Each structure stands twice: as structure tokens, then as C-alpha cells.
A and B are shown apart, each in its own frame.
Chain A
Amino acid sequence: MEFNFSRNYFELFELEAQFHIDREVLSNRYQTLQSQFHPDRFIESNDQDKRVAMQATTFINEAHKTLWEEPSRARYLLELQGVSFDSEQDTTQDMDFLMAQMSLREQIDEADNQEDPFETLDELARKAKQEKSLLMENYQAHFNAQQWNDAKESVLKLQFFTRLQQQINQKQEALEEQLL
């Protein structure tokens, strides 16, 4: 059995390497590949084939996960262009952006004191979603103009909103528990 590990994720699923993809096509091709290389099909095979099947499955899953969500797809496209990401060292020092982030986090903290905490959190969630789609638009504009650093900045800023959304969810769950 053979599996070509040198293909990039778009090539693997026979998709154009671009931000807009048809998720239904991705989903179908993922399922086809997954069943083709599923380790269960190689129980009777030799160790070499078993190992390749296992590695191929891991590769296929990782590829699917990366392309499925917009933020990770955006980041992967930049990596294909040679832009590197370093989670240890990448920091943002855009003061206005960070001030706004801090203020949003304070609003989550203080949601308890509002008349309708859930409405406050819903409003924050709407805002986060809106900001995310704005950042995605910025990303695409920068990417198309080959402004890689600016495109990277948009991806990094996006991650703060992803974290914010998690914090809003946690707060909602905490408040719901208090009601029980």
C-alpha cells in the first residue's frame, strides 16, 4: 500500500489552494479517504502496511481539521506561502486592539452585575462574531494583495476573538449553573 505524504492538504482533497472552499466537497472527499485508509481494513495486512495506514489516517484527519475551520485554513494558506507562526514568540502589541480586548473581557467579568446577564453575554457574542468576520475579510484582502505580514496579523487577532468566544461560553455555563 502506498500513500503520498508530500502532498499539501489542499492537494490531498483535490481542492484549489484558496480561502473559499466547498465544505461539502471537503467532507465527501474526507470520508472517502478515511474509509480507504482506515486501520480496520488492514488488520490482516503486514506491519508495514498497518503502520502506513495509521500514519495516513492521522495525516488525513489533521488535514481535514485544518481546512474545515476558517482560522486554521487561513493560517495554513499563509504557511504554504512560507509565512511562519510561532506560538511561543508571536505577540501582538497593537495598543488599541489590546485595550479593546481587555475591555471586552472586563465586560464578560461584569456581566453578573447587569440587569440581564445573558442578554449582555449574547450581545458580546454577536460582537465577537461580527469582529471575526471583519478580520476574515481583512485577511482575504491582504492575502490577495500578497501582504503576508498584514494577513498574518489578521490571523493572530482572530485568535483573540476565538478565545473570547470560549470565555463567553464559560461564563454562560457558570451563570446557568448558578440558576440551578
Chain B
Amino acid sequence: MAYGEKVLDHYENPRNVGALDKDDTSVGTGMVGAPACGDVMKLQIQVGDNGVIEDAKFKTYGCGSAIASSSLLTEWVKGKTLDEASQIKNSDIAEELALPPVKIHCSVLAEDAIRAAINDYQGRQVAVAEKQSA
């Protein structure tokens, strides 16, 4: 299958591959898997006190489109507030990368991953606040 130029670029030079400390309370970890293709995606964000995403890392086992979708997403969310980041749609990713219809689910996976990472981070903040008030 022919991949678009932007997909290839992100696939060959993926940005922000790696891991953040998942036990750090300023880090949110999102994991999603697509059973249809067996792809597994881990996306992590590091959030500053001002609620802005300072860093993002990913690790994806999957096809070129899944890797490109997560790579692009980590670039996009850096510098954004959690609110802004949660508004990113899979269609934005699919459009930017010009994903063919059969690969749209890769961008769905990336959208689910950032949502899960934000949820995880927010869950941690609640836990921290409860601990402090206890």
C-alpha cells in the first residue's frame, strides 16, 4: 500500500519516541489497543502546574499509520492545555496525514490514547488532592 509523504516522514523519523515515569504524579499514561490489527499504543504526557502539557512521549507497536498518528499527536499536544489537547479529533490527524479509509482506525486509536492519558493524569490529581486533605 502506498503511504503518503507525511506518514512516511513520521514513520521513518518518529518524534518523541520513549517513555516518561508512569509513577510520577505529573505524568498521565494512556494505553489503547486495536484488536482488529493487534496494534498497541502507549501515549504519555507530562503536565506543568499551569495545566499545560510540557512533554509527550509514545511507544507504538503497529503499522506505519499507527506510528505516524501517535508521532504527530505528541507534536501537536506539546504546549497545549489539557482542554485544548482533549479537543483534538481523529479526523484532524487523518486529514493531516492524508490517511486512506482503511487506516482511519489508526487515528481513532491515537485520539483514544490522548483521552486516556488525560483521564489518567486527572485521576492522579484527584488522588493527590485527597491525600493532601486527608
Contacts and interface: CB of A to CB of B under 8 A. Distances in A.
Contact of B38 (A97, A99, A164): A164
A118 interface: no
A127 interface: no
B35 A157 contact: yes
A88 B104 CA distance: 8
A105 B40 contact: yes
Contacts, number: 62
Contacts of B108: 88-89, 91
B57 interface: no
Contact of B32 (A87, A93, A162): A93
Minimum-distance CB pairs A-B, first 9: A163-B38, A87-B36, A156-B35, A159-B35, A98-B31, A92-B33, A105-B61, A88-B105, A101-B40
Interface of A: 87-93, 95, 97-99, 101-102, 105, 156-157, 159-160, 162-164, 166-167
19 contacts: A87-B35, A88-B36, A91-B33, A91-B35, A91-B108, A92-B32, A92-B34, A93-B31, A93-B32, A93-B112, A95-B31, A98-B42, A101-B40, A102-B42, A102-B59, A105-B40, A156-B35, A160-B35, A160-B38
